[in-house]
Structure 1
Amino acid sequence: MNYPALSPEQLLQRLEPPKGKVRMVLDTDTFNEIDDQFAVIYAMQSKDKMEIEAFYAAPFYNHLSSGPKDGMEKSYDELLKIMKVMGKDGAYPIYRGSEAYLPGPHTPVDSEAARDLVKRAMASPDDDPLYVVAIGAITNVASAILLEPKIIEKIVVVWLGGHALHWPNTKEFNLYQDLHASRIVLDSGVPLVLIPCKGVSSHLITTLAEVEAHVKDKGEMGHYLYETYKGCSEDHYGYSRVIWDISTIAYLNDERWTPSSLMHSPLLSEDFRWSFDSSRHFIRYVWNINRDSVFKDLFNKL
C-alpha cells in the first residue's frame, strides 16, 4: 500500500502538542470498560481546549459482547445514554463503526464512522488538522485511512494503544484486537501520538472513596459516573481501578501532564512485541503521566 508522505518538516509540525483549541472526533468502545464514560464526559467538559465534531462507536469483543459487531452496537447505545445523562440529546453526531476487524492488511471495513471521518478530514484546512482521539481498537481509523489515504495529510491520531516500549509484550486490549489496523496506524506515516497503557496510563488509578468524594455529588452526570465505577467490582475494600482513557483527553488539555518525546515509530510483530528501526518516521510517544494533575482537572470540570 502506498501512502502519501508528509515532509519531515510537516510531520514534526503536526506532532507538536497543540497550543490552542482543536477540532476533534472521539472513537470509543464505550461499553467495554468504565473508563470510556469518564473520557467522553471529560472531553465534553473541556470546551476551552477541544471542539467535538462527532463520536464514533468502536468494535470490541470480550465477555461483555458476543462479537465485534455486538460490542460496537453496545458502545453506540452507551454513547446515546451518556448524551441523555448530560442533557445533550442530539447535540453531537454519533456514528456506528466497524462490525468486524480488518480481514487483511489492505482491506478496510466500511462503516458510517469511517466514511464520516474521511469526509471531515478531507474538508479540513491544511493548517487546521482534525484530531482523531481513539480509545479502543483502531479499526475505524485504519479503515478510513485505507478508504482514503489522503486523510493522512489532514489528521493527527491520538491513540491509547499498546503497552510501554520497555514492556515484555504489547498484548494490550485495544492494540491486540486488530493487528492489521494497529500496524496501519503505526506504519502508514499518519501523525500519531501514542499513549501506552501499562507503564504509562496505568498511573491513572482512583478508588470508590475518591469518586464518591469528588464525583458523586456533581448532578446526574456525577451520579452516573459514580454508579458506573461502583458497579465495576463487588468488593471495593482495598480496591483501585485504572481510568486509562482519560489520558488522551489530558494530552489535549495540557501537554505538561503527559510528558512525551519524539521517537521512530515502533514495529509490531506477529506475537505482539515491539521492535525498533531508526530509519522509520517519527511519532510522539507519551512516556509518563502526572496522575494528580489529570484527576484534579477532571474533578474540577465535572
Structure 2
Amino acid sequence: MSRTPHKVVLDTDPGIDDALAILLALASPEIVLRALTVTGGNCPLEDGVRNALNVLALAQAPHVPVHSGVALPLLRPPFTAPETHGDHGLGYATLPAAPFGSADEHAVDAIIREIMAAPGEIVLVAVGPLTNVALAIRREPRIVQAVRDVIFMGGAFRVEGNTTPLAEFNVYVDPHAAQIVLQSGMPLTIIPWDITREVRLTQAHVDRLLRQGGPLVQFIADATRFYIEFHLNHFGYAGCSINDPAALALVFMPELAQTEEVFVAVDVMSDLSMGKTVGDFQRITTHTPNARVVTAFDSERFVELFVERMERLSRLLPLA
C-alpha cells in the first residue's frame, strides 16, 4: 500500500548543496515539493532566487513556485560564502535562464499560507539561515502548532564550526533568527555540521553520474568540482559535504538518523562565540529539550541513495 507523499516547503539559500537538495526533492516520489522559499545566505538573495529558478528549469519542474524572501539577517550585517559556493552560488556551473519567474507572494507569507492551509501536514525543511522562518513565526504564531515538523540543517555542537572556530554558517549568518525558532516551541529536528560534514560526495560518485550523460549530471559535476576543491583546500579531505540533501532525506527516511532530545540555545551576545549552538546533551540544566538533534547518520546508505536518484532523474530528462 502506497503512502501519501510528504508535503514539503523547502526554505533555502541556493548554494551548491541547496541545489542538490532541490534536485533530490524532485527525484523523490515520497515528496510533494509545495514551494521553494529563498533567503539570503550562501549568496545574495537575487542570485539565490535566480539559482532556484534555473535549477527547476533544468529539472523541468516549472510547477514548483519560487518565493523570494528576506535579503538580510534580522540584526547583523549580511554575510555570504563566495569562497564556498562561487561568486553566484553554483560553483563552476552555468545554467540557462529559466523561462519562468518567481511568484509574487513573499516567502514569509508563502510559508504561513502553506502551513495554515494544511495543519499538521507541512514539513518545513530549512537549509539556510532561519530569517524567513523566524519572521513567519512573528507574523503568524499559530504556525508553531500547525506545522508538522521543521527540519533544520545547522549548528555545530561537538566540532569546530565551518565559518568561525565555534559557529556553523546557517546559524552564524542570523543567530537571532535561529534563537527565535528555538524558543518558539516548534517541533524541530536539527541535523548539525557535526553530522553532515561526514556525508560526502566524492569525485568517484561524480564520475559515476557523468556516465549517464546529459545536462543534469553535467551541472552536478560543474557545481561540485568547485565544492570539492573548496573542501580539499579548507578542510583537507577529498569530496564535498552534501549537507542539505541529508537534511531533506530525513523527511522520507528518518531511519537514517539517530536523534536525542536536547535543549539547544544560540549565543547572540559574544563577538567571540557569536552563533555558537550550545546543546545540553548531558541534561546538566533544568531546561526542557526544544529540539531533536541528529547524533548519528547512515552516510554511506544515504549517499548511495542520492546518486541513484540523480541517475534516475537524469534518465527522465532529455539529453540536450
Task: Report the TM-score, using the length of structure 1 for normalisation.
Answer: 0.79
Deviations 1:247-288 (A, max 9, x none): 11221121221222223x212223225153433244211111
Q: Which amino acid aligns with 2:6?
A: V
Aligned partner of 2:67 in structure 1 is 95
Q: 1:122 aligns with which of 110, 116, 119?
A: 116
Alpha carbons of 1:192 and 1:93: their partners in 2 closer, same or farther (altered >3 Å)?
same
Q: 1:60 aligns with which of 31, 36, 41?
A: 41
Q: Which amino acid aligns with 2:67?
A: Y
Q: 2:145 aligns with which of 122, 132, 153?
A: 153
Aligned partner of 1:231 in structure 2 is 226
Alignment gaps of 5+ in structure 2: 77-104, 311-320
The yes-or-no answer on 1:85 pairing with 2:94 is no
Distance apart, 1:293 and its partner CA:
0.7
Distance apart, 1:297 and its partner CA:
0.9
Q: 1:196 aligns with which of 192, 200, 204?
A: 192
Q: Distance in 2 between matches of 1:225 and 1:177?
A: 26
The yes-or-no answer on 1:136 pairing with 2:134 is no
Contact 2:68 2:106 in 1 (8 A): yes
Contact 1:168 1:273 in 2 (8 A): no
Q: Distance in 2 between matches of 1:203 and 1:220?
A: 28
Alpha carbons of 1:150 and 1:20: their partners in 2 closer, same or farther (altered >3 Å)?
same
Distance apart, 1:101 and its partner CA:
1.0
Q: Distance in 1 between matches of 2:27 and 2:178?
A: 29
Aligned partner of 2:8 in structure 1 is 24
Alpha carbons of 1:187 and 1:234: their partners in 2 closer, same or farther (altered >3 Å)?
closer
Indicate the percent of aligned positions where both proteins have the same amino acid.
Answer: 24
Alpha carbons of 1:299 and 1:280: their partners in 2 closer, same or farther (altered >3 Å)?
same
Alpha carbons of 1:226 and 1:124: their partners in 2 closer, same or farther (altered >3 Å)?
same
The yes-or-no answer on 1:209 pairing with 2:231 is no
The yes-or-no answer on 1:162 pairing with 2:155 is yes
Contact 1:215 1:222 in 2 (8 A): yes
Distance apart, 1:21 and its partner CA:
2.9
Task: Report the TM-score, using the length of structure 2 for normalisation.
Answer: 0.75
Distance apart, 1:234 and its partner CA:
5.9
Q: Distance in 1 between matches of 2:254 and 2:228?
A: 32
Secondary structure of 1:149 counterpart: coil
Alignment gaps of 5+ in structure 1: 1-18, 66-70, 105-110
Secondary structure of 1:249 counterpart: helix
Aligned partner of 1:294 in structure 2 is 302
Q: Which amino acid aligns with 1:160?
A: M
Distance apart, 1:82 and its partner CA:
0.5
Aligned partner of 1:262 in structure 2 is 261
Distance apart, 1:211 and its partner CA:
0.9
Describe how 1:2-17 pairs up with structure 2 within 5 A.
none
Q: Which amino acid aligns with 2:294?
A: V
Alpha carbons of 1:20 and 1:287: their partners in 2 closer, same or farther (altered >3 Å)?
farther
Distance apart, 1:216 and its partner CA:
5.3
